[in-house]
Structure 1
Amino acid sequence: MPDTVPSANVRTTRVVSSDQLRDLLAETGATVRDSVRLSELTTLRVGGPALLAECASTDSLVATVKTLDAADIPVLLVAGGSNLLIDDAGFDGVVVRIATTGIDLAADGVLAEAGAPWDTVVADTVAAGLGGLECLSGIPGSAGATPVQNVGAYGVEVASLLRRVHLLDRKTGEVRWVEPAELGFGYRTSVLKHSDDGVILAVDFALDPTGRSAPLRYGELAKALDAADGETRPVDQVRTEVLRLRAGKGMVLNPTDHDTWSAGSFFTNPVVPAERLPEVMAAITAHVGDAKVPTYPAPDGTKLSAGWLIERAGFAKGFPGEPAPARLSTKHTLALTNRGAATAADIVALARTVRAGVAERFGVTLEPEPVTVGITL
């Protein structure tokens, strides 16, 4: 779930009781439940209690958010919960769960409601012989969350395939289709990530009807498929290989495997500005020696591998070992995992330790990928 998606927008002002909430939302179609453990709704499986309003239709979702906003009631939007780290105290407001699941396939693309499980969307497009999304197989979370962080994996990003987004503007109450040019996409970011003013209702992707994959640009995947850079393969072959690679890194959800009790990649790959790169490379050489450092071009500098830096900073897979309730994955050092009884505080403590170690050794500050609620890293 390294590229797993944030599906949370937060506003905080005042709270209500469950009875008041039921009365307030009586006409919206939302189903209200009290004292729901948010650990049940996140892949990290941490988070305290909250009032929950579940919306199974887009109309219900729009009406619920508008009603809560008009009443100045705190709102946390949750769909797949795959990129969320929520405080142990829970959320002092109303969690609106996006449970819309419609998927509409067309000859040249797919339209998915915001709550549709992302991997189901990908699987359906592959089964229909539509190319483009196959490299994003196995990523947990919801379809509507993917543009928020411009989810990407194995050389493909959502922004490269997105045709339009159906959006509720919480400031104006307007519902409209938005073009990608308005969303300010960048590496693992968009304007939606840094504001809670927009609620994604549906996403529309333009895909290739020939059954061929997106051009293969990621070395590990291309090698596994015996493909040269930029070549394509049948979409079903690419999906199968992506799922195999991800499973080997503990990045395909499995309730019996604690390596998958995570938010995917916890840190984004850092981009080092050109003026700082010599200093950072010198620090790496001083600590690691004359090693081959994986680097990638980026618009604002040079991208380094967060996982590579974490390992070279002395954090091995499984760190800090038993009996710690929160540890690095035994398969992939970029994932912070809940070994079964971890709290949000345990996850935060581990994240701070890893981030501080990388900063001390290499002068690079890693940025967390998950959306945090009630927590400051």
Structure 2
Amino acid sequence: MPVPEVAAPARQSAQQPIAPMTTLRLGGPADRVVVASSAAEVVDAVRAADEAGEPVLVLGGGSNVVVADAGFRGTVVRVASRGLDTAIRPDGSVLLTVEAGEDWDDVVATTVDRGLGGLECLSGIPGRTGATPVQNVGAYGVEVADLLVDVDLYDRAARTVREHVPAAELGLGYRTSVLKNTDAAVVLRVRFALPGGPGSAPLRYPELAAALGARQGQRVPAASARAAVLDLRRSKGMVLDAADHDTWSAGSFFTNPVVDAGAVPGGPDTEGMPRWPAASDRVKLSAAWLIQHAGFARGHAGPGGRVALSGRHVLALTNRGDGTTEDLLALAAEVRAGVLDRFGVDLHPEPVLVGCRLP
């Protein structure tokens, strides 16, 4: 799918608040907002801003971003491209090609409705498809790296479109890739290989297997797994609901820390602490467990009660309706400091921080 050299002008507006474009409902205004409804429009909008010497913020669903109260001095390019295609490959698997601006949960729902398993464990995750390889999105034992074939990118330095960049070149790791925390390239299109057939991926996550009354490693109908995942996410406030402040978040604010085996906290305070083996003799710990056992309960309030930990899941930092980014970062800093003081483990934020940082 080559990107046309010429595209229709994208829709533009000036001094538009960023907050309504994010799941946190936080962030000041942008100097200019361009809504790009095709890959070609995304390329043209980013290229035009680069040629004008303007900073660029590429924004999809705004689900994994924290924007400063001062806003963004430059152009926000909102990726709104649409399109989804499936093709059966010679081995019976299915190549799924998705434009970057497609809503991710809609993509998962569509594949399940078409009788295609593989993505069901990633149900309910907010945001656009183009962000999924950047973050190497994962949940309930499945991550994008398991299924990603390649991506089409706009290389800003070379001012060219690179098609079919293999997943192996993206440095996919735990909630990261070479595309994260850099603006060198913009994802235009994503391709996944689905196994074909209506069965789910093997159930790897104990909580999900238990909810389905199944064994770990077992496959179930993808539709059943999707329904169970959505139920679990709702119970944790992780499915967006405009009327529910507990869902006004960026999802999990901190990643699960991965530490050297010799740095795993010990002592009586750590009895029952979840841990999982990671690569190179390292160990992954549960950020939620560390936060709770450092004394932060669900609903723990930040400055003025304007922000708080979710009442259902301590990993979600929520805007209670009138919070600010400064409030949210103050709460995050309090939590991070408490965990470091209690367990000697430094937590790292999962969302991209735009024009701001943890104090």
Whether the 8 Å contact between 1:116 and 1:142 is mirrored in structure 2 is: yes
Matches within 5 A, 1:288-299: 288=269, 291-299=271-279
- Residue 275 of structure 1 corresponds to which residue in structure 2? 262
Cα displacement (A) at 1:321: 7.3
Equivalent residue for 1:112? 98
Q: Determine if the alignment matches structure 1 residue 315 to structure 2 residue 296.
A: yes
For the residues of structure 2 that align with 1:140 and 1:101, how far apart are their CA atoms? 16
Separation of aligned partners in 1, 2:302 and 2:12: 40
| 2:111 aligned with 1:130 | no
Partner in structure 1 of residue 149 of structure 2: 163
Alignment of 1:356-367 (within 5 A): 356-367=337-348
Aligned residues: 345
DSSP 3-state at the match of 1:163: strand
Which one is further off, 158-167 or 68-77?
68-77
1:45 aligns with 2:25: yes
1:146 match: secondary structure: helix
2:199 alignment partner in structure 1: 212
Deviation string 1:228-272 (CA, Å, 9 cap, x unpaired) is: 121100100000000000000000000011000000000000011
2:130 is equivalent to residue 144 of structure 1:
yes
Tell me the residue number matched to 1:22. none
**Equivalent residue letter for 2:20:** E
Matched, 1:257 2:244: yes
Cα distance, 1:106 vs structure 2: 3.0
Partners of 1:147 and 1:158 within 8 A in 2:
yes
Q: SS in structure 2 opposite 1:201? A: strand
- Go from structure 1 to structure 2 and tell me whether the alpha carbon gap of 1:85 and 1:322 turns closer, same or farther (over 3 Å shift): closer
Q: Does the 8 A contact of 2:302 with 2:331 survive in 1?
A: no
Question: Which protein, 1 or 2, shows the higher relative CO under an 8 Å CA cutoff with sep ≥ 6?
Answer: 1
Q: Name the residue aligned to 2:81.
A: 100
Structure 2 residue aligned with 1:86? 67
Cα deviation code 1:259-286 (max 9, x no counterpart): 0000000000001112312xx223xx2x
Q: Which runs of 4+ in 1 moved over 2 A?
A: 320-323
What is the CA-CA distance between 1:178 and the residue it aligns to? 0.4
Larger mean CA deviation between 50-59 and 102-111 belongs to 102-111
Q: For the residues of structure 2 that align with 1:254 and 1:354, how far apart are their CA atoms?
A: 25
The percentage of counterpart residues that share the same residue type is 54
- Residue 323 of structure 1 deviates from its aligned partner by 5.2
Secondary structure of residue in 2 paired with 1:223: helix
Is the 1:105–1:125 Cα contact (8 Å) retained in structure 2?
no
Is contact 2:302-2:330 (8 Å) kept? Answer: no
Contact 2:259-2:283 within 8 A present in 1 as well: yes
What amino acid is aligned across from residue 253 of structure 2 in structure 1? Answer: F
> Which residue is 2:91 aligned to?
none
Q: Which runs of 5+ in 2 are unaligned?
A: 1-5, 89-93
SS at match of 1:144: helix
The equivalent position to 2:15 in structure 1, one of 32, 35, 54, is: 35
Change (3 A) 1:188 1:321: closer
Report the AA paired with residue 60 of structure 2: A
Looking at structure 1, the residues matched to 179 and 155 of structure 2 have their Cα atoms a distance apart, in angstroms, of 11
C-alpha deviation, 1:194, in angstroms: 3.4
Alignment RMSD (CA, Å): 1.4
2: distance between equivalents of 1:322 and 1:190? 33
CA distance in 1, matches of 2:95, 2:40: 23
Contact 1:28–1:64 (CA under 8 A) maintained in structure 2? no
Cα deviation code 1:49-101 (max 9, x no counterpart):
11101101111111111121122211000011000100011000010110112
Taking a change above 3 Å as real, the CA distance of residues 41 and 70 of structure 1, as seen in their structure-2 partners, is: same
* Corresponding residue SS for 2:238: coil
Decide whether aligned partners of structure 1 residues 354 and 32 sit closer, same or farther in structure 2, where only a CA change above 3 A counts: same
- Which secondary structure does the structure 2 equivalent of 1:272 belong to? strand
In 1: Cα distance, 2:231 partner to 2:303 partner: 27
Q: Which residue of 1 aligns with 2:225?
A: 238
Offset from partner CA, 1:166-205 (integer Å, 9 cap, x none): 1111111221220011001111110001321110001011
User: 1:322 Cα shift?
Assistant: 9.5
Task: State the alpha-carbon separation in 2 of the partners of residues 81 and 31 from structure 1.
Answer: 18
CA distance in 2, matches of 1:152, 1:248: 18
What letter is aligned with 1:33? Answer: S
Distance 1:368 1:359 in 2: 14
* CA–CA distance in structure 1, aligned partners of residues 241 and 95 of structure 2: 29
1:206 aligned partner, one-letter code: A
Equivalent residue letter for 2:137: V
Contact in 2 for aligned 1:109/1:130 (Cα 8 Å):
no
2:165 aligns with 178
SS in structure 2 of the partner of residue 139 of structure 1: coil
Unaligned runs of 5+ in 1: 1-25
Tell me the residue number matched to 2:3.
none
1:320 Cα deviation after fit: 2.2
CA distance in 2, matches of 1:335, 1:109: 34
- Normalised to the residue count of structure 2, the TM-score between the two structures is 0.94
